[in-house]
Structure 1
Amino acid sequence: MDVRFLGGAGEVGRSAILVNDRLLLDYGLLTGNPPRFPVESPDPDAVVVGHGHLDHVGAVPSLLSGDRRPPIHWTPPTRELALTLARDTLKLHGGSYRCPFTENDVKRVTEVSRTHGYRETFEAAGHEVTFYNAGHVPGSAHVLVDDGGTRLFYTGDFHTDDQRLVSGTTARPDADVVICESTYADVDHEDRADVEERFVRSVETTLWEGGTVVVPAFAIGRTQEMMLICDTYDIPCYVDGMGTRVTEMLRQYPEFIRDADALRRAKSHARFVTGRDGQRKRIAEQQAAIITTSGMLSGGPAMTYIPEIRSNPVNKVTMTGYQVEGTPGRDLIESGRAEIDGRVMPVSAQVERYDFSAHTDRDGLFAFLDSYRDATVLVNHGDRCESFAADLASEGFDASAPTTGDEITA
């Protein structure tokens, strides 16, 4: 089996892996201004997508330009999320850089889409492919690829512990080669219950003091997780941005949600924002949590809320997700300043960071990979892939960390 890394090796973003020059696993983008795309524009016979985040699916429509029409295989939620993200990319960024796909390309996605559930084996480009629940976000999948000689297990992004929104992965199918993510390979997550308790105590204190809490959150997964927490602890909250649409969509696929009734209750508890900036400025004066995109402060309604609450030190900004280097969210955490709509703003409001990660941590990675001690392990999707691969090798694994552009025969 030949495996070529077109992106996502040694970095968090633009995941793209070409198998046997025929089957493409993911085709994402690396968030930035401008964003970065995989190093090649392949012409695969079929595409398989692990989950619906921009760094894994953001560039998929570009594969359908010209006469190319490879079928795209994914779970039903991933399909819906990919279409939502593609339309949003066209709307928000089409004018600021050369978007690699058009509205017609997005329409073609629906024509070539093939959806599958977990543990349903299907054929793609001459390979047998099976999805397994990856425990990352609704619809996220590990991908097992069998070409008749080698079994490749692409973990995608995954979590071994339960979250409120989705259950952790328990899948460990036999494999000869494992391509494993390593986003938090050098981190041990704090116990999730303790993180929730600190977050809730902090938010309740701010509201009691008359302040407002802005909760930047990824639209897919994190927004719904924060909604579930707010409902559980009866914290008044607004939800704004793409997360409102994603929440409505996810409720159509209860089989991919850990507790669909809990998500329904959380939606009833929250107040969804549908108005414009005038309404948002009024909401920014409320004693409530405002769960809003963008999770890295790189766009979305957060661009309205942060300027409105930034000057009052009673207010808070609680970052809930991974912040890519160079994003305003990362700058805010490190310097107390962030570029918002082209203007660098000091933020006097308190800035806090909470580890609500949907990725497994170092201990989880080792526990997961313990089932694959006889396999070849290729480490990707992380800032320190080589270091983690070396740690694995020191524990007896056949592990290495490819770089983007590498081709490996397994």
Structure 2
Amino acid sequence: MTIEVLVLGAGQEVGKSCVIVKINGKRIMFDCGMHMRHTDHSRYPDFKKISDSGNFNDALDCIIITHFHLDHVGALAYFTEVCGYSGPVYMTYPTKALSPLMLEDYRKVMVDRRGEEEQFTSDHIAECMKKVIAVDLKQTVQVDEDLQIRAYYAGHVIGAAMFYVKVGDAEMVYTGDYNMTPDRHLGAAQIDRLRLDLLITESTYATTIRDSKYAREREFLKAVHKCVSGGGKVLIPTFALGRAQELRILLDDYWERMNLKVPIYFSSGLTIQANTYHKMLIGWTSQKIKDTYSTHNAFDFKNVHKFERSMLDAPGPCVLFATPGMLIGGFSLEVFKHWAPSEKNLVALPGYCMAGTVGHRLTSGKPTKVDTDPDTQIDVRCQVHFISYPFIYKEIYLLCKQFIKKISTSSSIYE
């Protein structure tokens, strides 16, 4: 048995997840993401390390994508349509449905709003998706005579999966992001008891012990309520898919309980499409949402409405979900420039922010000024609240350490 691992992205950083595993002669690419902070070709994994000749079809047996976030799928259309890979690509049905929405939204932001050179076109995205083979949970897929794969529920976002791979007598699991506790719209990660030779796992928060999720939610709701009660505006910069749905359910329920009349808005047309897909993919959600689906669809938000650009400087309190997350550009950054100078307002950052982004600078201290681009500096007088949703307990980190120590001296973790 021989196993070789080549990390092309997300090693010691968050962004452009891409890992090549050679196992018993088969070479598999796990995830094909981009780094959201970079604006040149360093946003992509260094594909030349896979093949000097550029013949990626001979160099790879397949690609497996864990979920639709851009740091896991953002480079896929570029790799297939520009670099020329035409082999099989595997992902779950929801990931196949939602990935093109994410890729097209990113393309529009980068090209139409930021004026960057186009890396891939809408036609490239469509052709890329034709190469994708959708899989269901726990469906064993025979890629070829020696290679089989199987997807397991990962939580995190709708359609996210952990992938089991078997090549001959070698077995491994690769995870992207996963959640070990259920939330309002997704269940907890689930996987069979397996005898593995290799485990590669996302570990962004692996050494961080977090407070109770409910305590974090209470603090978030308290901060939002205090802001709007004082006549302020709340900006929640978030990507349109995933955490946006979770937070909207949280706020929609809270608004109903507290009988609040302050408007909640979302800014992205992508959000409308995303909610449509979430309504269609109820089978991938939490048991609670599935149980109540016949009487109430959790993604029919009573208090959430579409935001028009003309409302940007309108008087009065409101809550606005604006894309993209991390304040990396687009409409969320435009809103931030308008609202940050007022001490009545609040910016609530709902998750990890990569180094170099405006979001990261806000969560790393209490800056009074922030450079949003080389020519623009914003006075930051607003309040800043950070609520971190994805969390993995330290016990998982310790378990992984034990696993690594075990397989370094033995062919099986259970020996």
TM-score over 0.5 for the pair: yes
TM-superposed deviation, 1:320: 0.9
Deviation string 1:94-146 (CA, Å, 9 cap, x unpaired) is 37444443333212123212111111111235521000011211111111111
Name the SS of the counterpart of 1:64 in structure 2: helix
Name the SS of the counterpart of 1:181 in structure 2: coil
Name the SS of the counterpart of 2:321 in structure 1: strand
Alignment-mate amino acid for residue 30 of structure 1: H
Deviation string 1:7-42 (CA, Å, 9 cap, x unpaired) is 221111111122336321110011114162111154
Name the SS of the counterpart of 1:267 in structure 2: coil
Alignment-mate amino acid for residue 356 of structure 2: G
- Which stretch of structure 1 is more off in the superposition, 162-171 or 189-198? 162-171
Contact 1:50 1:140 (8 Å CA) reproduced: yes
Partner residue, 1:60: 76
Q: Counterparts of 1:153-232 in structure 2 under 5 Å? A: 153-174=173-194, 175-232=196-253
* CA distance 1:99–1:70, shift in 2 (3 Å): farther
Percent of residue pairs identical: 24
TM-superposed deviation, 1:286: 3.6
Partner residue, 1:347: 380
Name the SS of the counterpart of 1:130 in structure 2: strand
Contact 1:165 1:221 (8 Å CA) reproduced: no
TM-superposed deviation, 1:58: 0.3
Partner residue, 1:79: 96
Query: Which stretches in structure 1 are left out of the alignment for 5+ residues?
Result: 378-392, 400-410
TM-superposed deviation, 1:266: 4.7
* CA distance 1:53–1:291, shift in 2 (3 Å): same
Partner residue, 1:27: 32
| Displaced runs of 4 or more, over 6 A | none
Query: Which stretches in structure 2 are left out of the alignment for 5+ residues?
Result: 51-55, 410-415
Name the SS of the counterpart of 2:85 in structure 1: coil
Q: CA RMSD in A?
A: 2.4
Distance in 2 (CA, whole Å) between partners of 1:160 and 1:306 is: 33
Partner residue, 1:384: none
Count of aligned pairs between the two proteins? 373
TM-superposed deviation, 1:59: 0.3
Partner residue, 2:389: 356
* CA distance 1:313–1:330, shift in 2 (3 Å): same
Deviation string 1:44-93 (CA, Å, 9 cap, x unpaired) is 33211001111110000122226532222111111122111211222121
Partner residue, 2:313: 281
Contact 1:227 1:267 (8 Å CA) reproduced: no
Partner residue, 1:406: none
Partner residue, 1:239: 266
- Correspondence for 1:256 among 276, 281, 284: 284
Partner residue, 2:324: 294
Distance in 1 (CA, whole Å) between partners of 2:304 and 2:254 is: 15
Q: Is residue 48 of structure 1 aligned with residue 53 of structure 2? A: no
Q: Which has the higher contact order (CA 8 A, sep 6+)?
A: 1
Which of these two proteins has the greater Rg computed from alpha carbons? 2
* CA distance 1:398–1:218, shift in 2 (3 Å): farther
- Correspondence for 2:301 among 248, 251, 268: 268
Structure 1 length as normaliser, TM-score?
0.84
